[in-house]
Amino acid sequence: MLFNTLNFAIFLLIVFFLYWFLTGKKLLVQNLILLVSSYSFYACWDWRFLFLLVFSTALDYFTGIKIQQSPSKKIKLAWLWTSILINVGFLGVFKYYNFFVKSFAGAIALFGLNVNPGTLQIILPVGISFYTFHGLSYIIDIYKGEIKAETNFVDYSVFVCFFPLLVAGPIERATHLLPQIKKPRVFDYGKAVDGLRQILWGLFKKVVIADQCANYVNIVFNSPSAYPGGAHLIGAVFFACQIYCDFSGYSDIALGTAKLFGIDLLRNFAYPFFSRSIAEFWRRWHISLSSWFKDYLYIPLGGSKVGTWKKIRNVFIIFLVSGFWHGANWTFIVWGALNALYIMPSILLKTHRDNINIVAEEKALPSVNELGSMLGTFGLTAFAFIFFRSPGIGFAIQYISNIFSGSWHSALSVIKPTSLAGLFLALILFFVIEWFGRKHQYAIAEIGVEWPKILRWGFYYCIITTIFVFAGSNQNFIYFQF
Amino acid sequence: MTMKKFLVYLTWFLVPLIIIAYVADVFISRYLPKQNDYAVGEFPVWSDLFGGRVNSDIVIYGNSRAWVQFDPNIISDSLTTTAYNLGIDGYGFDMQYLRHSILLQYNKKPKLIIQSVDVFTLEKRTDLYNDDQFLPYMLFNKEIKNVTQNYEIYNHWDYEIPLVRYYGKNTAIKAALRMLLFPSNNPVMRMNGYQGQDKEWNNDFDEAKRKIGSYKVKTDSALKRLFEKYLKECQRDHLNMIFVYAPVYIEGQKFISNGGEIIDQYKSYSKKYKIPFYDFSNDSISFQKNLFYNAMHLNKKGSVLFTNQLVKTLKDNHSLD
């Protein structure tokens, strides 16, 4: 059940009414409705994996309690590793088994030995990378003594399975989400309206920008040999825009949906394409994952408070693992490595904490320097995203070399020039709206709030009409595959 | 209180949207079918069917081989009667039966059904080819829903809620707008359902032969049952029918490894239900490459020649008597 379908809208409507009208503000009933609806939502994808989800939830619930109850550190550690190994084991089998088997066979073949890689036809359970990380952060936090184990299974299950974040995040923390689940929610008009507005903007980003860019990107990436030069360059730029609007659009819908139930989720994107450096980009892109790796991997490894070589090692480890988290393909690892290389100078020069504030915070327009930095950062990330989008490393290298070959006018041969011009126009308009809304959680949060209702609603009707007219066939969200 | 306010505002916000959606649906569904060259030109045929404008003594059923090969204008001129070609591109008998049902519902009963049969008549498609052709007609239409809903292109809401089915169909929306703004720019593609193809032989067949060598048609048991049901219904309702196996280029016939078996199947239906079967697969037309634009389809010149021959056969056999 995709967020951008009528089925989801109807599902949401039903759950919304059950949640606010049947519960009588009773916490247990509210949480039970959220849990049942979350399981139903998940079952719509593939009911067989519901058992895996329930098992994973029960495992972390149980080990969390065991860690807390254990008298000695050794036993706590044993329970912690039990949970980590089982969780990562599931992830390894479902997501990485074939990759490891094929890579092993490939490595052996280098020594002249041929083995038949016993790959399996494995379907990746939707959201496994996300809910596994939910569970891991929970038990690690208990082990570190930062939180207490949750003893109410329903509450804990809602924390793991809450349907807006179940299939593609944001990756929540128990410290943030569990306290909200433990309190009865009271309907908040402002929050609900804000949620609907955020859903609308998320849909716009996904349907109008991401899906339209995808039409172009798919043509170029599916038959790169047919389109030299400029088409590849525009394909790379459009893919960067596509993946941003696809994933941040999804996140906006998730956050907006949660608000309808009186719950705030962690912010996942903060206008990453207005970053002046790669370090800033990574503070603004997929924030819930970046901060997860920072807190549970980078800092335990010593972070940046170690010697130079260890610092370099740590940066590479988190970016390589982050790349690998995205998918079982060397392209993701190269994508991670490239980002590690990009960020390395700022780590070594200790400038990575620069640019904490919003770009041109009190000004309408950026300075030339700021604009240059933003364009440079965008260029680097768009380049790295070529590997993210490519099916293999050889393909990506060929794609990059194609950028520098042939006619730069060839971009016009991919889709109709009028469609290309329309897409550019839509992107410019989109980034202008994002620029003026960059101080807020999402770009249209404050647009029209002071306007007369008729104008404000007119603005929303325009967005709805644009979504309807421009809706394309690329309905899947990119991050659902992770 | 805040919930009440929320629901009131939400309702007020949605009411104009619902009205606009309904009006937009009516507008698109009215103008889109006027676009003659959209959706492989199927709109005029569907519109004639639903609008009761087929009303012909002779109707031709079949797939693309019916659509481009049987010229109803020659038939009606030669036999001084009315004829309409209901051939639908790309589909087997399930979609042909849908057209038959709609014909009987909205039009007068024909005196003669020319059922074009070929190797693909009883083969089931796995996709909903040219799905836009159903858009203007499918809202609240159970017959179309029954035939098309299993293809996973349209879901339940598309058939039941106005405008939903046009979500993501921006070419259809643009086509409707084009018809509103430039109604004169609309060339006629089909004449009573028929569309002769002024084309030279192309390389489709050579390409297919090079790639796969030969092709075995998998007839679908559900389609066979439906076909027999249809034959029984026609018998019950005293609808005269003939089977016609139109010319297929001889190399194309060889390309289908089980073509003979399928023709035998039609012969057995013909015998069982006492339906005349006119087989042109070995007619001299089937040996003349210049009369085809690919192995399965006659070009316009070929279709005129074939239709004249068919008319002669009909006359000789007093098929309309």
pLDDT exceeds cutoff 70 at A90: yes
pLDDT exceeds cutoff 90 at A407: no
Residue A115: the pLDDT is 66
SS3 (DSSP) at B238: coil
Cut 0.90: pTM above it? no
**Region of poorest pLDDT, from A187-201, B2-16, B178-192:** B178-192
- Contact indicator for A328, A95 with CB cutoff of 8 Å: yes
**How far does A195 lie from chain B, in Å, by closest CA?**
12
Q: Which of A4, A11, A259, A468 to mutate to test the interface with B (most CBs of B within 10 A)?
A: A468
The answer for A 31-70 residues in CB contact with B (under 8 A) is none
Nearest-angstrom CA–CA distance, A227 and A415: 11
Tell me the torsion sign for CA atoms A412, A414, A416, A421: negative
Task: Return the closest-CA partner of residue B297 out of B243, B244, B246.
Answer: B246
- Contact indicator for B88, B39 with CB cutoff of 8 Å: no
Q: List b or e across B99-112, with b for residues whose CB sees 16 or more CB atoms inside 10 angstroms.
A: bbebbeeebeebbb
Residue B293's Cβ-side half-sphere holds a number of Cα atoms within 13 Å equal to 15
List CB contacts (< 8 A) between A472 and chain B: 168, 170
Residue B151: the pLDDT is 83
Domains of chain B and CATH, by start: 3-316 (3.40.50.1110)
Size of interface A-B (CB pairs under 8 A): 40
List CB contacts (< 8 A) between B2 and chain A: 187-189
Nearest residue on chain A to B2, judged by CA atoms? Answer: A189
Note whether A473 contacts B168, CB cutoff 8 Å. Answer: yes
pLDDT band (50, 70, 90) for residue A117: low
Nearest to A471 among B16, B161, B168 (CB): B168
| Alpha-carbon torsion, ordered A182, A184, A186, A188, to 10 deg | 10
pLDDT, one tens digit per residue, over A285-296 is 999 999 999 999
Nearest-angstrom CA–CA distance, B232 and B242: 14
Residue B287: alpha-carbon gap to chain centroid: 27
The residues that bridge with B298 in the sheet, in sequence order, are B292
Q: Which of B17, B28, B161 to mutate to test the interface with A (most CBs of A within 10 A)?
A: B17
pLDDT, one tens digit per residue, over B121-169 is 999 988 999 999 999 999 999 999 999 988 878 888 999 999 999 988 8
The single-letter code of the amino acid at B192 is N
Nearest-angstrom CA–CA distance, A346 and B24: 55
Nearest residue on chain A to B9, judged by CA atoms? Answer: A193
Note whether B6 contacts A471, CB cutoff 8 Å. Answer: no
Largest CA distance in chain B: 83
Instruction: Retrieve residue B35's tokens.
Output: 């676009």
Nearest-angstrom CA–CA distance, B206 and A353: 65
Nearest-angstrom CA–CA distance, B243 and B96: 14
Note whether A457 contacts B13, CB cutoff 8 Å. Answer: yes
Nearest to B6 among A189, A471, A473 (CB): A189
Geometric angle at alpha carbon A285, from A282 and A289, rounded to 5°: 85
Note whether A470 contacts B155, CB cutoff 8 Å. Answer: no
Look at A352 and A316; give whichever has higher pLDDT. A316
pLDDT exceeds cutoff 90 at A105: no
List CB contacts (< 8 A) between A192 and chain B: 6
Note whether B167 contacts A468, CB cutoff 8 Å. Answer: yes
pLDDT exceeds cutoff 80 at A225: no
Instruction: Retrieve residue A398's tokens.
Output: 């060929």
- Contact indicator for B125, B152 with CB cutoff of 8 Å: no
Task: Return the closest-CA partner of residue B264 out of B253, B279, B282, B249.
Answer: B279
* DSSP of A49-98: GHHHHHHHHHHHHHHHHHHHH-SSHHHHHHHHHHHHHHHHHHHIIIIIHH
